[in-house]
Structure 1
Amino acid sequence: VRRIIFASSGGTMLGYEMENPYTEIVGADYDKIPETWTMITDDMPFRPIHLGYVSKVFGEALGRMYSDQFGVSVLNIRLGAVLPGDVPVLRRHYPGYLSHADCVQFVQKRIDAPDDLMFDTLGAMSDNNYRWRDICHTKEAIGFVPTGSAEDHEIEDKGGIHQVSETPTPPGKHAPS
């Protein structure tokens, strides 16, 4: 095995949503969002919000160990919100939305990355107006150029803080009805 591509998650960074201005961005409280905000980069401290995302952090760290100790190229991918139907259904999806076409492009560019790229963690989102996770490193490292945007889709949902503050449902579980 010369390369492992580990499917991590943007969820490793979702704890930042509990702070302003990210709470307002995700809650679609557009009147309270400043004109500019600090973008969260993939090299900033992890902020997982449940154990499923903690396991992704573990996987990324394990990849670093395999790269360092065994010379295996390990490329972590932190995908944004890849949604059924390729359409955001909640305003909460707008910052992290990743179109199906952008997802395919991103994964293909990771597969085709130079052989001498031994370790990296890159996130992918489409070109969304309210994105708060930075993708500059992703663009530079592998030439990712998103073509989709959450704002290409008009939806009925008006957003709200409840979309941020609700306790997330762990993977494999169903939210109570």
Structure 2
Amino acid sequence: MDAPVLLTGSEGRVGRAILEHLDDAYDWRLLDREPPSSDPPGEVVVADITDEERMSEAVEDVGAIIHLAGDPRPEAPWQSVLRNNIDGTHTILEAAVEAGVEKFVFASSNHAVGSYETDARTPDIYRPEDDFRLDGTELPRPGNRYGVSKATGELLGRYFHDEHGLSVVCVRIGNLTKDRPPRDYERGQAMWLSHRDCAHLFDRCLQAEYGYEIVYGISNNDRRYYSLEHAREVLDYDPKDNSAEFDE
């Protein structure tokens, strides 16, 4: 991709994981509310994603957007997720369409489907022998207001794809940790996403051709209740890590 890639929320955990492995792969334009904590690999924009004028400037001449910015707290109050996650996503989608951006990669979350983990299914669904899978075709079932905001972001992406032809992929990110999955925590192991696989997945989101898709963002774990088949089929996602490799 010759045009710059706008990465919103670049100072967050997912943004740092992407840049850790892909710092030289793209011409980055990095957007965050806070100035960078270290020397960034690209142009820096310090702005709030709800600022329509600044977002119009930020998306100018970019070919794709990875949208990570927002309030990441599962316990975030409604007013915060409404402003930062829902209004902010709508603002940057509007700016993307007006600027003629081709691809929009939305960082959704496992919290958009958290209520599928009912007492009747857990903890069995976290174990290798269980065959229950979510594959992205199911309706959202958020477990908190943060999950509601991520499900809303997915619907906004659907609307902007259908109405304006924007290519949109929504990545329901699992449990991102850098070095290893959490020990003695079956759920965290089932939805583990390594930094290496995270960067590879978002790289594939930038490179592949698609219309509107929902995929799951986890590593190739033996324990999992998210299917990777659609991400493999649509994006050619090929995760290398597996939480089982760290079993004692």
Pick the TM interval, shorter chain: 0.7 to 0.9
Q: Tell me: higher relative CO, structure 1 or 2? Use CA pairs within 8 A at least 6 residues apart.
A: 1
- Paired residues in the alignment total 147
Residue 56 in structure 1 maps to residue 150 in structure 2: yes
2:239 aligned to which of 146, 152, 166: 146
State the distance in 1 between where 2:232 and 2:225 align.
15
Residue 136 in structure 1 maps to residue 236 in structure 2: no
| Structure 2 residue aligned with 1:88 | 182
1:99 aligned to which of 194, 205, 218: 194
- Residue 13 of structure 1 and its aligned partner are, at CA, apart by 1.4
State the distance in 2 between where 1:143 and 1:19 align.
34
What percent identity do the matched residue pairs reach? 27
- Residue 36 of structure 1 and its aligned partner are, at CA, apart by 3.7
State the distance in 1 between where 2:107 and 2:122 align.
24
- Residue 20 of structure 1 and its aligned partner are, at CA, apart by 3.2
Q: Which amino acid aligns with 2:174?
A: G
State the distance in 2 between where 1:73 and 1:84 align.
29
1:10-57 deviation per Cα after TM superposition (whole angstroms, max 9, x unaligned): 22112111143343344xxx6xx8x34221111112111000010000
TM-score (norm 1): 0.75
Unpaired runs of 5+ in structure 1? 156-177
- Residue 120 of structure 1 and its aligned partner are, at CA, apart by 0.9
Residue 23 in structure 1 maps to residue 123 in structure 2: yes
Q: Specify the SS of the correspondent of 2:123.
A: helix
Determine if contact 1:12/1:57 at 8 Å carries over to the other structure.
yes
State the distance in 2 between where 1:41 and 1:22 align.
18
- Residue 86 of structure 1 and its aligned partner are, at CA, apart by 4.0
State the distance in 2 between where 1:85 and 1:138 align.
23
Q: Which amino acid aligns with 2:117?
A: E
1:110 aligned to which of 199, 205, 214: 205
Q: Which amino acid aligns with 1:81?
A: N
Q: Which amino acid aligns with 2:110?
A: G
State the distance in 1 between where 2:227 and 2:115 align.
15
1:89-112 deviation per Cα after TM superposition (whole angstroms, max 9, x unaligned): 433301100111111111100011
Q: Which amino acid aligns with 1:152?
A: E
| Structure 1 residue aligned with 2:219 | 126
| Structure 2 residue aligned with 1:174 | none
Unpaired runs of 5+ in structure 2? 1-100
What is the alpha-carbon root mean square deviation over aligned residues? Answer: 1.9
Determine if contact 1:21/1:37 at 8 Å carries over to the other structure.
no
| Structure 1 residue aligned with 2:173 | 79
State the distance in 2 between where 1:56 and 1:21 align.
23
Q: Which moved more, 1:48-57 or 1:35-44?
A: 35-44
Determine if contact 1:122/1:138 at 8 Å carries over to the other structure.
yes
Q: Specify the SS of the correspondent of 1:18.
A: coil
